[in-house]
Chains A and B, each alone.
Chain A
Amino acid sequence: EVQLLESGGGLVQPGESLRLSCAASGFTFSSYAMTWVRQAPGKGLEWVSSISGGGGNTYFADSVKGRFTISRDNSKNTLFLQMNSLRAEDTAVYYCAKDLHPTAWGQGSLVTVSS
């Protein structure tokens, strides 16, 4: 069974940084692209970033480009999202998801950016 468990969310002030992690199990992690999707309170799904299975290709939404970094540690089956220069509009539940068209989703990690 595929399991994705996010961690690292919380309350931060504007301009601060946060690192999300996603521990994956139940599949051959290195064989799959991975994706972060976020959902602001009461809003729709927003694709944030994706990374290829080997980690060599990364993709970002314009809204986070230059501020967020995606990476993975295939030896530890873990996906990361480093979020810098956070803004109020980054407040959302962040989902870790398997594949470019996500076939499995984590439960989400809430990130709140507020002073």
Chain B
Amino acid sequence: DIQMTQSPSSLSASVGDRVTITCRASQGISDYLAWYQQKPGKVPKLLIYAASTSQSGVPSRFSGSGSGTDFTLTISSLQPEDVATYYCQKYNSAPFTFGPGTKVDIK
């Protein structure tokens, strides 16, 4: 099975900072990659699918890129409401594995 890794596992940044989270697949998955945001105590929310397509209603400061095995989620200007754990997920074929998550908080 394809393994999904994320780095870093956590980060602390200042409001307004540019934040980048990396997701890596152990084998190529084309662009079948989604990103989710889960705020503390809340249900996960889809941010990005097809590696770079933003879900409707997602703020424009969130963007995704990559293809194959290496993907990134970028928050162009970190806001206090972005404190959350971010997960990637592969969905090219089963198992539709999630990455271990990256916890983002404000410095």
Chain A: interface residue total (CB-CB under 8 A): 20
Cβ of A107 under 8 Å from chain B: yes
One digit per residue, 1 when the CB lies within 8 angstroms of any chain A CB and 0 when it does not, for chain B 80-105 equals: 00000101010100111111110000
Nearest chain A residue, comparing its CB with the CB of B45:
A105
Cβ of A46 under 8 Å from chain B: yes
**Dominant secondary structure at the B interface:** loop
CB-based contact B95/A107 at 8 Å: no
B residues in contact with A45, CB < 8 Å: 36, 38, 44, 87, 89, 98, 101
Given contacts A44-B87, A45-B101, A47-B89, contact A103 B46 (CB under 8 A): yes
Residues of A within 8 A of B (CB): 35, 37, 44-47, 50, 59-62, 95, 100-103, 105-108
Residues of B within 8 A of A (CB): 1, 32, 34, 36, 38, 43-46, 49, 55, 85, 87, 89, 91, 94-101
15 pairs across A/B with beta carbons < 8 Å? A35-B96, A44-B87, A44-B100, A45-B36, A46-B98, A47-B96, A50-B94, A50-B96, A59-B95, A61-B95, A62-B1, A101-B34, A103-B46, A105-B45, A106-B43
